[in-house]
A and B are shown apart, each in its own frame.
Chain A
C-alpha cells in the first residue's frame, strides 16, 4: 500500500546540514528506515533513523518545482512538520533580501534552466 502524499509545514534552516521530519510524519507515511545516523543538535548528539522521501516545495504554486528525492532524519521539530536543510537548498538558489525581510528560493523545474 502506498500512502497518499502528505502536505506538511516546513521551516527553512540554513544551519541544518540535512533535512529532518517529525516522527508523526514518518508514521503517517508508513516509512521504514534505511539507516541509523547521528544528529549533532544544540543539546548534544542523538541517534536517529534516516528515511528516503520525495519533497515537493511550493505546494501552492501553479507549477511547483520538480520533486526532490532526499534523505531525511527523524527529529522533534518545534513549530513545523519538517526542517528543510542545506541538502535541499543546495539544489537551487536561495537569496535573502535582508532589508525587506524576504527571501526567494528557486529550485529546478523540468525544462527550465536555473
Chain B
C-alpha cells in the first residue's frame, strides 16, 4: 500500500467517525493509527486537547507506525496561501 493509499485510508476512517466525534470531542484532536497488519482498519487511539500531545500519542502508539492527527471540526479547514501559484 502506498503512502497516499494509507493516508486515504486513515482519512476515510476519520470521516466515518466524524459525526460521532463532533458530539463527544468537538474542538479536540483525534488520532487514528493504521495497525501494522494492513488487513486491519485504522483505529482511533484517542482524542486530545493539545495537538502536540496528539502527535506524541501517534508516534508512541505500539499498534502501528502511520497515523493521522485531525482536528475534530464539522468541516476541514481550508488554508489560504495566496503566494503559492500552480505551474501550468
Contacts and interface: CB of A to CB of B under 8 A. Distances in A.
Given A32-B3, A49-B7, A38 B76 contact: yes
B69 A15 contact: no
Contacts of A77: 83-84
Contacts of A42: 82-85
Contacts of B58: 34
B80 interface: yes
A16 B81 contact: yes
Interface stretch (A68-76, A88-96, A105-113): A68-76
Nearest to B77: A37
Interface size class of A (residues with CB under 8 A): 20 to 34
Given A33-B7, A52-B69, A20 B51 contact: no
Nearest to A43: B86
B87 interface: yes
B66 A18 contact: no
A11 B77 CA distance: 23
Nearest to A19: B81
Given A46-B86, A52-B55, A52-B69, A16 B80 contact: yes
Interface of B: 3, 7-8, 11, 51-52, 55, 58, 65-70, 76-87
Closest 9 CB pairs of A and B: A43-B86, A41-B84, A75-B84, A17-B80, A18-B79, A40-B80, A34-B69, A16-B81, A17-B79
Interface of A: 11, 13, 15-18, 20, 32-46, 49, 52, 69, 71, 73, 75-78, 83, 85
9 contacts: A16-B82, A17-B79, A20-B84, A32-B3, A34-B58, A38-B76, A39-B80, A39-B84, A77-B83
